[in-house]
Amino acid sequence: MKNDSANQGMDPANFLKQIWVQLCLQFTQKNHLVEQEWLFIKQSYSEKGRHYHTLKHLQYMFLQLELVKNQTDNLQALSFAIFYHDVVYNAKRKDNELVSAEIACEKLALLNVQSEIITLTEKHILATQHHKLSAENDTNRVLDLDLAILGDTPENYKTYTQNIRKEYAMYPAFLYKHARKKVLKDFLQMEHIFKTTYFIQHFEQQARVNLQSELEG
C-alpha cells in the first residue's frame, strides 16, 4: 500500500536533486541554471520554522507518486507542481499557494519549460489551497499526494501532527486545538478525503482512523 522503497531512507536532498536534474534537462541544457534553481528550492524548504513542509515532505510525495506514475496525464507538470507547491510557506500567511504558483511560473519560464506545462503546474499548485475536486485528473493526484500522510501508519501520522504543531507554535494551545478540530471534522465529513481511485482504495480508511483518533485524543 505505502511505498516502502529503499529510497525512503535516502537523504531527501540527494533523492530530490536527482529527480530535479533529470526533469529540468528535458527542457534546458544550462546546467548552471538547473543547479541555481535547485539551490533555491532546497533553501526554501529548509527555512527556519519548517518542520513538516520540508524536503522530506517532497520526498514522501515523490515516493507515493511512484505508485501511480503510470496513470498520470502529464508527469512533467505534476512533478514541477510537487517541487514548487510549498516553496513559500508561512503559517501566518493566507496566500502561500498563490505566491508559490507565481514563483513557479517565473522559474519554469527561465528553464525554458513550455507554456502549457507551466499553466498546468500553476493550476495544480493553486488547487492545494482549498483541496477541492478538480476536473483535471493530475490536479486531483497532486492533492492526494499532498494529503497521503493522513492515510499512513498511526506512528507516521503522529509524527506529522507533531511537526504541524511546531509550525504553528506561535499560536497558544487553545486556539490551535480549536482550529485543528475544525479541520479534522471538515475532513471526516467529506464523502471522500481523497480524490482518485487509488488513494481512496488504499489510503482513505486509515486516514479516517487517524483523523478520528486525533479528534478524540
Please report whether residue 73 resides in a domain.
yes
**pLDDT at residue 6 above 70?**
no
CATH number reported for the structural domain that contains residue 73 in this entry: 1.10.1300.10
What confidence score (pLDDT) does residue 57 get?
98
Q: How far is CA 182 from CA 147, 148, 175, 204, in A?
A: 17, 19, 11, 19
The secondary element (H helix, E strand) that includes residue 59 is helix 55-65
Residues with Cβ within 8 Å of residue 6, at least 6 apart in sequence = none
61 in Cβ contact with 82 (< 8 Å): yes
Q: How many angstroms from the chain centroid is the CA of residue 157?
A: 15
Query: C-alpha cell of 118?
Result: 507551466
pLDDT at 217: 86
Average pLDDT over residues 10-35: 97
- Does 187 map to a domain? yes
Please write the tens of the pLDDT for every residue from 108-132. 999 999 999 999 999 999 999 999 9
For the cut 80, the answer to whether the pLDDT of residue 22 exceeds it is yes
Domain contains 145: yes
Give the angle 132-122-115 at the CA atoms, nearest 5°.
140
- pLDDT at residue 4 is higher than 60: no
Across 167-180, average pLDDT: 96
What residue numbers bound the domain in which 94 lies?
6-216
With a pLDDT cut of 70, the percent of the chain lying above it is 96
Total domain count for the chain? 1
pLDDT at 2: 59
Q: Given the C-alpha cell 524548504, which residue does it identify?
A: 45
pLDDT at 215 over 60: yes
**Residue 140 scores a pLDDT above 80:** yes
Report whether pLDDT(3) > 60: no
8 has a pLDDT exceeding 70: no
pTM: 0.95
Q: Answer whether residue 61 is part of any domain.
A: yes
Which residue in this structure is represented by grid cell 503546474?
A: 121
Burial class (CB in 10 A: 0-12, 13-18, 19+), 62: buried
Instruction: Tell whether 1 is covered by a domain.
Output: no
